[in-house]
Amino acid sequence: MKNITYNDLEKKILSYAPFEIPKLRKAYEYAKNYHKEQTRASGEPYIIHPLNIAYILANMQADMDTIVAGILHDVVEDTESTLDEIEKKFNKTIRDLVDGVTKMTKLDFDNKKELSAVNIRKIIVSLARDPRIIIIKLVDRLHNMRTLEYKSEKKQQEKALETLEIYVPLAYYIGASKIKDELENIAFRYLKPSLYGDINKQREELKKETSDILNDIQSKIENLLKKNGVKAKFEIRYKDNYSIYKKLLTKINFEMIHDMLSIKVLVKNTRDCYLALMLIHEEFTPINNRFKDYIAKPKTNMYKSIHTTVFGPDNRLIQFQIRTFEMERVAIYGLTSYWFKYKNNARIEMQKDLEENFQFFKSIKELDSTILDNIEFVSRIKKELFSSNIYVYTTSGEVIELPNGATVIDFAYKIHTDIGNSMVAAIVNDEAVSLDYVLENQDRVRIITDNKAYVPKEEWLDKVVTTNAKNKIMDFIKENEDNLN
């Protein structure tokens, strides 16, 4: 992997923010001076690390405060530099960003587990302050994972596991799939090297076998769309190693993974997405239960696309992913795509979108406000947000994200406190169910309420898994006990 130089970084910044070069140079000289006696595990000068972070951020066209914070992100933690000095030499925003990514020191805590938990919590809840903090931290972790070969085997395992448990879910939730995919594949390679190698070998063999088939299909669809006035860009894709591994864990054979081979179709507008879908279905027979319209109903991380799997030549299953160029940018970069669109107002738009549209943001705020213990907070985050989740629907078609094991009571409180407090019955997929019914992926749920009924009851506490539902039930019980006394 080529190391980035300052000239590489400056050239990248010149392409979209040339007037910021003096600020960039000032930050580079400041960081270079403080890190001058330090080297990385590879033996290279330490400044290479922050330069790489800044370059990755610049590829996203990040604002200059974020890039400067990326360059300076380790100076307070690892050198004699201070936050006050950073604010004085740069500005308060950069100070706050650097503070957000700076780890707490071991002197403040009794043990390593508590220290780790408080640092993880600090990063997660920073979303409420400034989402750019998490983006810098994700990029920091990405470069560290790219250079993990220089660490001991024990440290490699620790970092790989932490990456899968914390940083991959964070990248997913903010929609940064490009970062997420690379993080999880590097982590997988270090955690299970033999299995990674076996899957990669099969994947490479599959690419050789199917390359001509996919090129022929792409050419056919490209001509078909062109005849119908649809201009499109195409990309042939193969499922990545970690995604294949997760599918194999569900006992599906390698050959039966329906989205192993895919062709991405990028078009100008939403109308062309649906026209392309129609034309593809006229040419190839679709598999009905493999059709997903994430344009009409985006994923909870705002991902939009149409997915359809068809029967291709030689009994091959081919998935088409159809979306606009704008949807593609969001699919790759998530919240970070706002830098391309909103430039210096991106941070405001990121925060606004997080608060209005991203369900996990509200859940993080609820957990942070109700759980004081740092270790318990991280445990609940992993269990309720960062583990395998299910996606169920309201009667109006809204997608609701819940942890595995969630019941209809959890669902009711996720919708609104008043709905949970007045729930008397539930209907799932047009059938009445008990209140301890455990929901499954893609269930459609309707809650029956009665404002005159005396609910919830204490026994409900054993029927829910989310902290939000438990807290709301306990609040209701306590409030009503106080009223009776």
Please tell me whether residues 140 and 240 are part of one structural domain.
Answer: no
Number of domains in the chain: 3
Name the domain boundary from 310, 334, 358. 334
From residue 82, give the alpha-carbon distance in Å to each of 78, 99, 134, 140, 254: 10, 10, 21, 20, 53
Alpha helices, DSSP H, located in 228-252 = 241-249
Q: What is the pLDDT of residue 482?
A: 61
Q: What is the pLDDT of residue 321?
A: 97
String of DSSP letters for 431-465 = EEE-TTPBP-TT-BEEEEE-TTS----GGGGGG--
Q: Is residue 431 part of a domain?
A: yes
Known active-site residue 326: no
Give the CATH number for residue 452: 3.10.20.30
Q: Is residue 349 part of a domain?
A: no
Peptide bond before 403: cis, by omega within 30 degrees of 0?
no
- Tell me which residue range forms the domain holding 456: 388-484
Please tell me whether residues 162 and 204 are part of one structural domain.
Answer: no
Give the CATH number for residue 20: 1.10.3210.10
Please tell me whether residues 327 and 208 are part of one structural domain.
Answer: yes
Q: What is the pLDDT of residue 318?
A: 94
Label the pairing between strands 317-324 and 261-267: parallel
Q: What is the pLDDT of residue 1?
A: 62
Known active-site residue 77: yes
Please tell me whether residues 168 and 26 are part of one structural domain.
Answer: yes
Bridge partners (DSSP) of residue 237 are: 262
**CA–CA separation, 174 and 176 (whole Å):** 6
DSSP state of 290: G
Please tell me whether residues 230 and 164 are part of one structural domain.
Answer: no
Give the CATH number for residue 309: 3.30.460.10
Coil/strand/helix, residue 319: strand
Residue ranges of the chain with per-residue pLDDT less than 70: 1, 104-110, 454, 482-485
Q: Is residue 119 part of a domain?
A: no
- Reported as a single tens digit per residue, the pLDDT across 135-191 is 999 999 999 999 999 999 999 999 999 999 999 999 999 999 999 999 999 999 999
**CA–CA separation, 84 and 74 (whole Å):** 15
Q: Is residue 250 part of a domain?
A: yes
Out of 77, 84, 373, 479, pick the active-site residue.
77
Q: Is residue 229 part of a domain?
A: yes
Q: Is residue 418 part of a domain?
A: yes
**CA–CA separation, 447 and 428 (whole Å):** 9
Q: What is the pLDDT of residue 291?
A: 93
Please tell me whether residues 143 and 63 are part of one structural domain.
Answer: yes
Q: In the chain, what are the helix, strand and coil shares in percent, each to the nearest 5?
A: 60, 10, 25
pTM comes to 0.86
Q: Is residue 373 part of a domain?
A: no
Out of 8, 10, 20, 78, pick the active-site residue.
78
Please tell me whether residues 93 and 37 are part of one structural domain.
Answer: yes
Coil/strand/helix, residue 320: strand
Find out whether 123 and 133 touch, Cβ atoms under 8 Å. Answer: yes
Classify burial at 404, counting beta carbons within 10 Å of its beta carbon; exposed 0-12, middle 13-18, buried 19 or more: middle
Please tell me whether residues 166 and 209 are part of one structural domain.
Answer: no
Please tell me whether residues 81 and 199 are part of one structural domain.
Answer: no
**CA–CA separation, 48 and 52 (whole Å):** 6
- Alpha carbon of residue 53 to chain centroid: 19
Please tell me whether residues 88 and 164 are part of one structural domain.
Answer: yes
Q: What is the pLDDT of residue 398?
A: 83
- Reported as a single tens digit per residue, the pLDDT across 314-360 is 888 999 999 999 999 999 999 899 898 888 788 898 888 888 888 88
Please tell me whether residues 145 and 11 are part of one structural domain.
Answer: yes
Please tell me whether residues 169 and 200 are part of one structural domain.
Answer: no
Q: Is residue 295 part of a domain?
A: yes
Q: What is the pLDDT of residue 53?
A: 97
Give the closest residue to 254 by CA, choosing from 244, 264, 262. Answer: 244
